[in-house]
Structure 1
Amino acid sequence: MDIAELSELFDRVKGLNVLCVGDIVLDQFIYGDTNRVSREAPVPVLEERRRERMLGAAGNVVRNVRALGATPIPVALVGDDAEGQALLELIETEGVSRDHLIIEAGRRTAMKTRFVSGGHQMLCVDRDPLPGGESDTETRLIAAIEAAAGEADVAILSDYGRGLVSRRVSQALIAVCRAKGIPVCVDPRGRDYTRYDGATVIKPNALELSEECGHTVSTDDEALDGLACVMARLERTENLIVTRSALGMTALGCDGSWIHVRSRPRPVYDVSGAGDTALSMLSLALGAGSSLETAMRAADLAAGLVVTKVGTATVTADEVLAEERMRESGEASAKLRSRQSVAEAAARWKAMGLKVGFTNGCFDLIHPGHVSLLKQARAECDRLIVGLNSDSSVRRLKGPERPVNNEVSRAIVLGSLESVDQIVVFDEDTPADLIEAIKPDVYVKGADYTIDQLRPLGGEAVLRHGGRIHLAQLEDGHSTTAMIRRSRGVD
């Protein structure tokens, strides 16, 4: 995918509401050091340093959907125990609605506890859910699904085998979504995928597909054979997709068409949650109206990035876009960085006693006025970070015919200027959030602005963090708009 297509996709994703149905688990990580052996048994003793809790299983899908820019609507069962309360608090912390969660009296909330030392998992303890005494739980779940579907643009069914996704619940979800024209994407578990029949996509991994079809799924031909074997048992399912780790993804449609999407080689640090990221991005792309192949490519990009992180992580739209911008620009712009990267660099420079400056703009056609502004900005600081409006941001600000040069081309030209130390592309209409992350010592803009005008554009954050605003002298007679008009023979 090129950066323009990917950026446009994330623009469409921002407005989506995503129905997320499945088993939510409380994930607990206990971190510590192992420096001695127990006197009671020949086992290491973990000296606890800290513990973290997060949403796991279908809850990780909720986290991924939110991180990628859409709004999740979870439907799940939660116990009325302490662990259930912890889950509800985590959901609130994520800024996600609890309106369609079912709290079952007497239910034991599912939990997974991992003990970690030196970056390695020593032990994993599963606590499976136990149902409460309520006889109408399944009926309440279906009612919650039907209510939530009225708000949704796409649905994700995450079956983690913890008892929530019965055949009745699965078919009720698919029926209501098909009636409303809402795509349904399923992450299956166990044998017999007929309980998910009618979905838009069913997405097993290679091991799960192997277990369902009864043979190995290593080569392209074996993957297609396995998918065909399963598709033959399904009457209404539109597509089957198998995720194949470093080999990418393979899809088979109900009409016999197939697609292979290859993964780019990457360092792999942890595959935890990669399937959730792939499913989330795939579903969002389909919900945003993308073709299946485009959705698969976007899903592969997101999953490929998340495996470079440690732990059950998520990725943001900004991270995916930044990764692709850097890849597309190649070595021509080593200064192009992600938002997180420039924020970390700014903090590091400030810790070294260096003054960090920031300016921003579209920089569509670089002219002497731009060069002067950047030189003046660099003179006010030791390190200069430039915020560059994304293509979609420029279109919103300047109109559908702009930019003339795409964001990667603009970043490459900016990166060639000695006055610029790092570049970060931002998609918002103003750089306020970016400035809040960077916390520059000085914010530089042209003197065609006033300080009061710059306050809501990020200037307020600069002043609040002890920085200052500097208005640079303008070079008369230079304007990108005027250059474009002259090139078109318009006075």
Structure 2
Amino acid sequence: MLIDKIKSARLAKKRPTILVIGDLMIDHYLHGKANRLSPEAPVPVVNLKSEVFTLGGAGNVVQNLVSLGAEVTASGAIGNDIAGAQVLEILSKEGVSTSSVFTNEDRITTIKTRILVDGHQLARLDKECTDHLSAEAENALMKELYSQIENADLVVLSDYNKGFLSPGLTRSIITVAKRFNKKVIVDPKGNNYAKYSGSFIIKPNRSELAVAAKIENVDSKGSLQVAASIVIEQTDVEYLIVTLSEDGIMIFDNNESTVLPVKATEVYDVTGAGDTVLSTISYFIALGLNVLEACEIANHAAAIVIRQIGSATVTVDEIIIELEKELQNLQQIN
């Protein structure tokens, strides 16, 4: 039984060590009210009521893993600026090691500012750098990451296409991970997945898969199969796991495919559900469960977070409660 496996795995290995490498950024929220238009232009005047700074990008994956109980080391590139200091401060408060977070004087930290009026997004302002690190900076970072990869139970690449995970750096990380027999799980971006070749799992969503496979849409099971075959051939990945929002999760293993329908009976907000799925799969594989088991658990984790508004995290205890509820419902039916 899945519940027993989860409990046994936690007892055998209480805190798996997971290295998260990716685009670290700040999500900045401005909440306000708007009751009139500006006399200067036909735009609303927003009366600011509150301001919130949270981790975004790979940081959301980090927070999900911390919530599950993992010991996490984060790696990424930030600028020597206020947003970069905020990234380090929030990570430190979460108990996350930041020794592999690279501060680059030539870079600005990505910050996404959202202006919300009565809960509705009015505008988003992005400040970011999408350049790759210099070859010298990448080499220096790899020297730091070498021991981190060796000591990790698992490596997660959270790519938001902000330039940090260049093809060269990504290939170096995967090469070192394979040398130490460490599984690499990737949340991809872009239209060229070749840089992820040799990964254990690549986890795109439906639209990301379509872009990578250069197919206009992947709305049917047949088109999903075709797109998956293209990406698997391109990357030689062991498992391709595609998140399908309200349609659940589809797992591709060479020519085999498995569909896990969504577990949620109510869907309020799918924001951040992909990061929850990625984190949950990573955590339970690091605990020693197989891919199908980890995906089944991740499907239940996603069901929990999409019943909430905004990005949310989940705990193992909450997942166990969700699994117990499903078991009770099945017993009642039978």
User: Normalised by the size of structure 1, how large is the TM-score?
Assistant: 0.64
**Matched residue, 1:16:** 16
**Matched residue, 2:291:** 292
Question: Structure with the greater relative contact order (CA < 8 A, sep ≥ 6): 1 or 2?
Answer: 2
**Matched residue, 2:311:** 312
Distance 1:332 1:212 in 2: 42
**Matched residue, 2:228:** 227
**Matched residue, 1:40:** 40
Structure of greater Rg: 1
The 3 A distance-change label for structure 1 pair 131 and 206 is closer
The 3 A distance-change label for structure 1 pair 95 and 45 is same
The 3 A distance-change label for structure 1 pair 122 and 8 is farther
The 8 Å contact of residues 104 and 134 in structure 1, kept in 2 or not, is answered as no
Distance 2:87 2:198 in 1: 31
Which runs of 5 or more residues in structure 2 are unaligned? none
Deviation at 1:331, TM superposition (A): 11
Deviation at 1:102, TM superposition (A): 0.8
The 3 A distance-change label for structure 1 pair 250 and 13 is farther
1:407-440 Cα deviation digits (max 9, x unpaired): xxxxxxxxxxxxxxxxxxxxxxxxxxxxxxxxxx
Instruction: Determine whether 1:157 maps to 2:157.
Output: yes
**Matched residue, 2:272:** 273
**Matched residue, 2:217:** 216
Distance 1:243 1:27 in 2: 23
Distance 1:57 1:133 in 2: 18
Distance 1:310 1:189 in 2: 25
The 8 Å contact of residues 77 and 103 in structure 1, kept in 2 or not, is answered as yes
1:50-103 Cα deviation digits (max 9, x unpaired): 111111000111111101110111111111111111111111111111111111
Instruction: Determine whether 1:180 maps to 2:169.
Output: no
The 3 A distance-change label for structure 1 pair 11 and 58 is farther
Deviation at 1:131, TM superposition (A): 5.7
Q: Counterpart of 1:64 in structure 2: which amino acid?
A: N
The 3 A distance-change label for structure 1 pair 135 and 264 is closer
The 8 Å contact of residues 27 and 56 in structure 2, kept in 1 or not, is answered as yes
Q: Counterpart of 2:179 in structure 1: which amino acid?
A: A
Distance 1:197 1:302 in 2: 28
Distance 2:13 2:202 in 1: 21
Q: Any idea what SS the aligned residue of 2:151 has?
A: coil
Distance 2:247 2:261 in 1: 6
Distance 2:153 2:218 in 1: 33
> How many residues are aligned here?
331
The 8 Å contact of residues 263 and 304 in structure 1, kept in 2 or not, is answered as yes
Q: Any idea what SS the aligned residue of 1:233 has?
A: helix
Deviation at 1:191, TM superposition (A): 0.6
Q: Any idea what SS the aligned residue of 1:225 has?
A: helix
The 8 Å contact of residues 241 and 250 in structure 1, kept in 2 or not, is answered as yes
**Matched residue, 1:388:** none
1:212-265 Cα deviation digits (max 9, x unpaired): 22142222222122101221223x3211111111211112223x2322211124
Distance 2:165 2:259 in 1: 29
The 3 A distance-change label for structure 1 pair 189 and 132 is closer
Matches within 5 A, 1:7-406: 7-11=7-11, 14-129=14-129, 136-213=136-213, 214-234=215-235, 236-254=236-254, 256-330=255-329
Distance 1:132 1:193 in 2: 17
Distance 1:106 1:169 in 2: 18
Deviation at 1:9, TM superposition (A): 4.5
Q: Any idea what SS the aligned residue of 2:103 has?
A: strand
Q: Any idea what SS the aligned residue of 2:148 has?
A: helix
The 8 Å contact of residues 130 and 161 in structure 2, kept in 1 or not, is answered as no
Which runs of 5 or more residues in structure 1 are unaligned? 334-491
Deviation at 1:112, TM superposition (A): 0.6
Distance 2:147 2:71 in 1: 16
Matches within 5 A, 1:412-491: none
The 8 Å contact of residues 80 and 103 in structure 2, kept in 1 or not, is answered as yes
Deviation at 1:300, TM superposition (A): 1.3
Q: Counterpart of 2:137 in structure 1: which amino acid?
A: T
Q: Counterpart of 1:223 in structure 2: which amino acid?
A: L
Distance 1:132 1:215 in 2: 29
**Matched residue, 1:336:** none
The 3 A distance-change label for structure 1 pair 332 and 226 is closer
The 3 A distance-change label for structure 1 pair 237 and 332 is closer
1:137-161 Cα deviation digits (max 9, x unpaired): 1112222221211220011001101
Distance 1:78 1:133 in 2: 11
Q: Counterpart of 1:38 in structure 2: which amino acid?
A: S
The 3 A distance-change label for structure 1 pair 128 and 13 is farther
Q: Counterpart of 1:78 in structure 2: which amino acid?
A: I
